[in-house]
């Protein structure tokens, strides 16, 4: 179970609750480093922010590449956060939301061991809608790593991660409340009952400098949020992420159709989505990358992770990692096509190709060719400003599983249909939504 990058939902001041619309709902997403985020550090400059994002991307990718476990802790730097309310006496909880996580869990009282969080820890005794899940239930018997507390006949969950982080406690059901921001001028408070989640009274996150109250998983397993609400909204979700230089503007995450968020489906491209057990990660098939008139093919290798051209699409990894041979070719072609002189030396330690004063018109067109879909990236998807007018290629070589990160996905409407097993992309100015 990988727990990736992260989102913030503002709860409206409206006190009434409304019935949900079957066509879907949306919540606002705020980047961890946004000035609107409670974790924003104004002392960090652009170079420091990008270095942190890259370092956490490498850490996250390393967990994803690990053969020891399918679990990954979310990367709060470079991801998105949301606020949710839980129970009949709701108070806002800041949580990480990740396309690479399957389980929902929240810190709960009475804590045997809990880490510090900024909001009050949820106390199930204060909620009349809290229900423990029994040992003989389908939810418990199908839960990977689940066990039974026979004395109480209640189900226990256990989530453990490669960095020795963990969450452990009762599997239960509860009412979760969101703000539907589909109509931003008239937001509606939206409640969903009987959401299965982990009520964690033993939790530790060892790699984060700021801790969310829990995790909301958007993976394809039955325990993720998107799977649990599919009977009402369909097995679909989408997002539109603003570029890194516009972090003062909210991004958007939607469940169900919500076609009103895009002007039309014209010029939308669709590619098959591949799911591998335990159906936590989402994969696409990458055939090649074309830079202007030169195509770099995805060659099959002897490494299992590279076979078939599979690339993980991950909202929680900032940068895009490519097989070494593809990255080396991309760097060589970029140097040939861009007429400016690259900066010499190890500018960022990890980002290898950087320029001073690179303009949009200097960047050649880059097309990612997935199965049945050619996705043309803009300059802001291929290069990133790391400060002091230094612009670097937003790709890095990876020895293991390739990852299509969130810089490459910004200013795209990205729609997942888990019934059809497809992902669709359409250019969209996300800041205007």
Instruction: List, by residue number, the catalytic residues.
Output: 98, 314
Inter-CA distances, 144 with 60, 97, 276, 297, 413, Å: 22, 20, 15, 38, 33
Question: Helix, strand or coil for residue 358?
Answer: coil
Where are any strands of DSSP class E within 334-429?
354-356, 366-370, 373-377, 383-387, 390-393, 395-398, 403-404, 412-417, 422-427
The answer to whether the bond into 110 is cis (omega within 30° of 0) is yes
CB count in 10 Å sphere of residue 191: 17
Question: Helix, strand or coil for residue 201?
Answer: strand
Helix, strand and coil percent figures for the chain, each rounded to 5: 15, 35, 45
Q: Measure the CA–CA gap between 270 and 416, rounded to whole angstroms.
A: 10
**Residues in CB range of 185: below 8 A, 6 or more apart:** none
Q: Could you tell me the two tokens for 246?
A: 């516009």
Q: Could you tell me the two tokens for 124?
A: 């199930």
Q: Closest Cα partner for 321 from 302, 334, 305, 340? A: 305
Where are any strands of DSSP class E within 205-260?
214-217, 236-240, 251-256
Q: Could you tell me the two tokens for 420?
A: 């059809």
Q: Could you tell me the two tokens for 275?
A: 């799911």
Residue 182 CA to chain centroid, in angstroms?
Answer: 20
**Beta-ladder partners of 396:** 321
């Amino acid at each position: 179970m990988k727990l990736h990058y992260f989102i913030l939902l503002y709860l409206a001041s409206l006190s009434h609750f409304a019935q949900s619309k079957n066509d879907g709902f949306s919540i606002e997403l705020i980047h961890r480093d946004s000035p609107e985020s409670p974790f924003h550090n104004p002392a960090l400059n652009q170079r420091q922010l990008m270095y942190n994002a890259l370092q956490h991307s490498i850490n996250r990718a390393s967990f994803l590449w690990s053969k020891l476990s399918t679990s990954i802790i979310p990367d709060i730097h470079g991801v998105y956060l949301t606020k949710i309310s839980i129970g009949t006496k709701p108070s806002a909880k800041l949580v990480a939301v990740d396309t690479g996580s399957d389980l929902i869990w929240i810190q709960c009282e009475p804590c045997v061991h809990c880490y510090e969080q900024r909001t009050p820890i949820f106390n199930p005794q204060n909620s009349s809608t809290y229900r423990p899940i029994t040992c003989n239930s389908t939810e418990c018997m199908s839960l990977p790593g689940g066990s039974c507390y026979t004395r109480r006949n209640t189900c226990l969950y256990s989530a453990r991660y490669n960095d020795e982080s963990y969450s452990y406690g009762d599997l239960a059901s509860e009412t979760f409340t969101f703000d539907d921001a589909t109509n931003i001028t008239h937001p509606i408070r939206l409640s969903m009952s009987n959401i299965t989640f982990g009520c964690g009274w033993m939790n530790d996150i060892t790699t984060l400098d700021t801790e969310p109250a829990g995790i909301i998983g958007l993976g394809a397993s039955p325990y993720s949020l998107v799977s649990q609400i599919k009977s009402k909204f369909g097995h679909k979700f989408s997002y539109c992420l603003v570029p890194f230089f516009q972090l003062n503007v909210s991004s958007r995450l939607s469940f169900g159709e919500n076609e009103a968020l895009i002007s039309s489906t014209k010029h939308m491209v669709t590619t098959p989505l591949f799911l591998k057990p335990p159906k936590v990660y989402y994969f696409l098939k990458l055939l090649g990358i074309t830079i202007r008139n030169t195509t770099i093919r995805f060659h099959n290798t002897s490494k299992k992770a590279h076979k078939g051209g599979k690339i993980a699409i991950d909202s929680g990894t900032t940068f895009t990692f490519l097989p070494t041979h593809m990255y080396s070719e991309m760097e060589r072609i970029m140097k040939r096509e861009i007429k400016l002189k690259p900066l010499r030396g190890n500018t960022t330690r990890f980002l290898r190709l950087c320029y001073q004063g690179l303009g949009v018109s200097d960047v050649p067109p880059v097309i990612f060719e997935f199965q049945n879909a050619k996705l043309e990236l803009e300059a802001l998807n291929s290069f990133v400003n790391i400060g002091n007018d230094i612009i670097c290629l937003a790709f890095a070589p990876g020895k293991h599983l390739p990852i299509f990160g969130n810089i490459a996905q910004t200013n795209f409407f990205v729609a997942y249909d888990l019934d059809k097993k497809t992902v669709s992309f359409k250019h969209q100015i996300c800041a205007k939504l």
